[in-house]
């Protein structure tokens, strides 16, 4: 699968999910993740779609794959925090929530103009 095909498949899945066709979105994202296992975007999108239907174990699995690829991503740490909270594991939720806050602060320090409306 080319990078363009992968991107199109993820975008199509995102559209399917937005239109309420979660099974189609899930199938496309599973196909994308299987075809390109190193695709952070495919795994993260799959985690979010699975989380939205409260398939928490499957969401956690996809989120952990994405985290293994890009552990310093603010959004996957937030996703993991949300999943762990829904699963009832507050210490794990707090661990990933704290990591997300640290990454957010780091981004603010590195890109202050982006957080001040470009001033």
pLDDT at 119: 46
Dig out the tokens for 69 from the structure.
């690829």
CA distance linking residue 16 with residue 19, whole number of Å = 5
| Residues in the chain, pLDDT under 50 | 118-119
List phi, psi (to 5°) of 7.
Answer: -60, -45
pLDDT at 115: 67
Q: 9: Cβ–Cβ under 8 A, 6 or more apart, which residues? A: 1, 28, 29, 31, 32, 42
Q: Which residue carries 């699968």 as its tokens? A: 1
pLDDT at 110: 82
pLDDT at 65: 98
> Could you tell me if 74 and 103 are in contact, meaning their C-beta atoms sit under 8 angstroms apart?
yes
pLDDT at 106: 82
**Structural domains of the chain sorted by starting position, each given as residue range(s) with its CATH number in brackets:** 3-115 (1.25.40.10)
pTM (two decimals): 0.84
pLDDT at 117: 61
> Could you tell me if 48 and 79 are in contact, meaning their C-beta atoms sit under 8 angstroms apart?
yes
Closest CA to 65 of 42, 94, 97: 42
């Amino acid at each position: 699968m080319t990078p363009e095909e992968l991107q199109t498949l993820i975008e199509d899945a995102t559209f399917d999910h937005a239109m309420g066709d979660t099974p189609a979105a899930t199938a496309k994202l599973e196909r994308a993740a299987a075809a390109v296992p190193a695709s952070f975007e495919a795994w993260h999108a799959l985690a979010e779609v699975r989380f939205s239907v409260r398939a928490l174990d499957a969401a956690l699995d996809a989120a952990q794959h994405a985290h293994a690829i890009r552990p310093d991503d603010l959004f996957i740490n937030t996703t993991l925090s949300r999943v762990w909270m829904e699963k009832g594991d507050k210490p794990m939720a707090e661990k990933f929530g704290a990591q997300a806050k640290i990454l957010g602060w780091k981004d603010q320090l590195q890109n202050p103009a982006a957080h001040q409306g470009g001033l």
